[in-house]
Chain A
Amino acid sequence: DQQVKQNSPSLSVQEGRISILNCDYTNSMFDYFLWYKKYPAEGPTFLISISSIKDKNEDGRFTVFLNKSAKHLSLHIVPSQPGDSAVYFCAASVNKGMRFGAGTRLTVKP
């Protein structure tokens, strides 16, 4: 059920720089996309979402971009902070429960 893919298992960036996490999906019926952040021994925490009728959504340092024609979305974190170090999951849904990617481990170095 690989409908949502995160092809980069890890990403390392310097503090203050931009982090860009990518996600691809195959099901064109998905109408709602989300990013979750996960720390060890905790459940995923909701970060930001975007509806399929939009192509951009911002919340503070976090911006999600959606390219429906390419079936691609990305999460930009600017500026990156050491506390952003975590595993980031991309998820997509249509009426039913979310389908998740495998996650990208982000490390922000001081």
Chain B
Amino acid sequence: EAGVAQSPRYKIIEKRQSVAFWCNPISGHATLYWYQQILGQGPKLLIQFQNNGVVDDSQLPKDRFSAERLKGVDSTLKIQPAKLEDSAVYLCASSFRTGGGSTEAFFGQGTRLTVV
């Protein structure tokens, strides 16, 4: 079974530029998450999709971050414009279901973003 695929693995941009990350979840997984992990901290949930609908985006900085999951499969996360504090690893994860019997989420390798 193929795992969660993310690209690119690494990205370096200047502040105020824009950047986009792509995620392809495990086949059949209805739930997709984007997490931000700053060095030395645990992953922080940015947004959760159930199929192509947003379940939770309460911690997404909506003035600069956006995410979409067209057709309920692949997803993209965009930052525009980037700030220095956005330097982090962006992790995508997917799970079979949530609520009423949660299941574990499987993570991709992440995209390491450096904003200079």
Contact = CB atoms under 8 A, between A and B. Distances in A.
A95 B93 CA distance: 15
Contacts of A41: 109
Nearest to B47: A97
Given A34-B104, A46-B105, A102 B42 contact: yes
Contacts of B40: 102
9 contacts: A4-B42, A36-B107, A43-B109, A45-B107, A95-B102, A96-B98, A97-B33, A98-B105, A100-B35
Given A4-B42, A43-B109, A96-B98, 18 more contacts: A1-B59, A31-B102, A32-B102, A36-B107, A42-B109, A43-B4, A43-B93, A43-B108, A45-B107, A93-B98, A93-B102, A95-B102, A96-B45, A96-B56, A97-B35, A97-B55, A99-B45, A102-B40
Q: How large is the interface on A (under 10, 10 to 19, 20 to 34, 35 or more residues)?
A: 20 to 34
B82 to A, nearest CB: 22
A89 B109 contact: no
A46 B45 contact: no
Given A93-B98, A96-B55, A102-B40, A44 B104 contact: no
A93 B56 CA distance: 12
A97 B42 contact: no
Contacts of B59: 1
B43 interface: yes
Interface in A34-53: 34, 36, 41-46, 49
B94 to A, nearest CB: 11
B48 A97 contact: yes
Contacts of A89: 42-43
A103 B42 contact: yes
A91 B33 CA distance: 14
A4 B41 CA distance: 12
Interface string B32-54: 01010000111111001000000
